[in-house]
Amino acid sequence: MPPQTDLLQGTLDLLILKTLTLEPNHGWGIAQRIQQVSRDVLQVGQGSLYPALHRLEGKGLINSDWRESENHRRAKYYELTRAGRRQLEREISEWNRLVGAIGLVIEGA
């Protein structure tokens, strides 16, 4: 099994929000997508995923809805809200700033 990387709570929120920009998805789908796109580096366990989803929903950044899924079963789909989109932009720019700063330190110092 590929090594699991510990994700900070805030970073997980960022990944979830980004994943939902394309289209609404259910929890399992979000986790799969993150794993695929990150080439198996980032694996989100359901123990951290679902609490994060519920938290984001509580903050009004995502909405949830029960729909019929592709295998004709009911699944809980999450989608991004307008507030969520704004928050995502903020988080991305904050992330870039952070990464840039760390990069400077590593190269220069």
Partner 1 sequence: MKISRRNRDVELNEEFRDHLEREIQKNIADGMAPDEARRRAAIALGAIESAKEECREQHLSYWIETTLQDLGYGLRLLRKSPGFTCIAIAILALGIGANTAIFSAVNATLFARWPFPHPEKIVIIAEGAPAKPGWSLVSVPNFEDYSREQKTFDQLALWISQSINLTGQERPDRLIGSVVSANFFELFGTKPQLGRLFLPGEDQSGAENVAVLSHDAWQTRFGADPNILGRHMTLNNETYAVVGVLPAGYHLPFESDVYITAQHQTSYKRDRATRVLLMIGRIKPQVSRGQAEANLNTIARSLAREYPETSANINVAVTELRDMMNRFVRKPLIFLLVAVAVVLLIACANLANLLLSRSTQRQREMAVRAALGAQRSRTIRQLFAETMIIAVFGGMAGVALAYWTLPALLRLAPSSFDLGSVAVLDSRVLLFSLGLVFLTGVLFGVAPALHSSHINVATALASRSRGTAQTGTRERVRTAFVVFQVAMSVVLLTGAILLLRSFQALLATETGMDTRNLLTMEYRLPRNKYTNSEAQAAFHRQIVARVAQVPGVVSSAVVRSLPFSGNFGQIRFVVPDRPAPEKGKEPIAYANSVTPGYFATAGIPVLSGRIFDDHDSPLARTVSVISRAVAERYFHGEDPVGRSLQIVDNNSSIDGKPIIIVGVVGNAKQMSLRDNDEAEIYTCYSQDSGIFGTLVVRTTVDPMSLADPVRQAVWSIDNDQPVWKVRTLAFLVERDVESDRFLMVLMLAFGVLALGLTALGTYGVLSNAVNQRQREIGVRMAMGAQPSALRGLVLTRGMKLALVGGLIGVAAAAAGTRLVSSLLYGISPLDPAAFITSFATMQFVAFLASYVPAHRATRVDPMRALRCD
Nearer to partner 1, 57 or 91 (CB): 57
Q: Does the footprint of partner 1 cover residue 2 (CB under 8 A)?
A: no
Local structure of 49: helix, strand or coil: helix
Binding mask 41-60 for partner 1 (x = CB under 8 A): ----xxx--xx-xxx-xx--
Instruction: Please pick, from the candidates 2, 65, 66, 96, the single residue that binds partner 1 as defined by CB under 8 A.
Output: 66
Q: Under the phi-then-psi rule, with left for phi > 0, alpha for psi from -120 to 50, and beta for the rest, what region is 2?
A: beta
Local structure of 39: helix, strand or coil: coil
Q: Does the footprint of partner 1 cover residue 28 (CB under 8 A)?
A: yes
Instruction: Please pick, from the candidates 76, 86, 90, 97, the single residue that binds partner 1 as defined by CB under 8 A.
Output: 76
